[in-house]
Amino acid sequence: MFSLITGASRGIGESFARVLASEGHSLILVARDLIALNALKESLMAEWGVMIKIISIDLRDPNAARMIFERTQQEGWDVDFLINNAGFGRFGEFESHPVDDYLEMIQVNVTAPMALSHYFLGPMKARGQGAIIHVASMAAFQPTPYMTVYGATKAFLRAFSEGLTGENQASGIQVVAVCPGLTDTHFFVAAGAEVEMTLHGAPGMLTPDVVVKGSLEAVRRGTMTVVPGIKNRLMAMLSSAIPHRIGVPLAARILGRQFHRFKE
């Protein structure tokens, strides 16, 4: 059996790979960067002696999820642990980025994890075991001005995960949405250089290992949604409790100040 990780070449995905390899899991690592995937494969095999397969593919391709599944079927790689980690965001006013950026974001953050879950859930249920982790975000708890599409994609992942949990209570399949706050990853480079310079290494930022530890503990406990970090959990609870008519203008003021600083 294999654990399949998307966005495995760096950040949270790489941390998942290292932790699971240390626990003896055979892995399928999925990302665009073939050089980084090969380097990670060699590192994990040398340190832990586990079986590592790699699939270099761009999840922005609408056919990517189907191609990944077909490859696993052709090779006889049975997947019992799917980690939908790949994703990216953009910071700024909605109209400040090309619409194609948002279409690609929806493809990577929403369509690909939904399709991969659909492909792999059936075989998991047939075997009577398996788990799926969707890496969402604290942005899933309230609308997120200046990261509007990103926040909406993460809200989808949270709702999608919780819906699957309800459907699979008796199937033996665990489905978890992990909703990290600020985490020290490559995300900020992709979101925008100004965001990266401002937020990278900020106080209270989580490490990928903390996110992974919380995610795997949630699978073992059967927790539906997990927010790593005590402060983040409190903020998520507060965000959920505040009516949107209050929370949205507040978020717009806070994030808007950051956005207008970048424009100056």
Q: Are 56 and 33 in contact (CB under 8 A)?
A: yes
Q: How far apart are CA 236 and CA 230, in angstroms?
A: 10
| Continuous segment of H or E residues that includes residue 133 | strand 130-135
Q: What tens digit of pLDDT does each residue of 1-16 get?
A: 999 999 999 999 999 9
pLDDT, one tens digit per residue, over 137-168 is: 988 988 889 899 999 999 999 999 999 999 99
Q: Is the pLDDT of residue 203 over 70?
A: no
Please indicate whether residue 150 is annotated as part of the active site: yes
Residue 173's contacts (CB-CB under 8 Å, 6 or more residues apart) are 121, 124, 125, 129, 130, 131, 132
The type of residue at 199 is L
The band of 264, judged by pLDDT with boundaries at 50, 70 and 90, is very low
Note whether 187 and 208 are within 8 A (CB). no
With cut-offs at 50, 70 and 90, classify the pLDDT of residue 196. very low
In CATH, the number for domain 2-263 is 3.40.50.720
pLDDT at position 88, please? 94
Q: Phi/psi at 189 (nearest 5 deg)?
A: -65, -45
Query: Choosing from 102, 119, 146, 150, which is the catalytic residue?
Result: 150
Confidence class for position 183, pLDDT limits 50, 70, 90: confident
Residues 132, 176: contact at Cβ < 8 Å? yes
pLDDT band at 225; cut points 50, 70, 90: very high
* CB-based contacts of 97, cutoff 8 Å, min separation 6: 90
Give DSSP secondary structure letters for 30-70.
EES-HHHHHHHHHHHHHHH---EEEEE--TTSTTHHHHHHH
What distance lies between CA 22 and its chain's CA centroid?
Answer: 21
Band of pLDDT at residue 189, cut at 50, 70 and 90: low
Mean pLDDT across the chain: 88
Domain boundaries, the chain: 2-263
Give 71-76's long-range contacts (Cβ < 8 A, gap of 24+): 72/2, 72/4, 72/28
What proportion of the chain, given as a percentage, has pLDDT over 90?
71
For residue 92, pLDDT beyond 80: yes
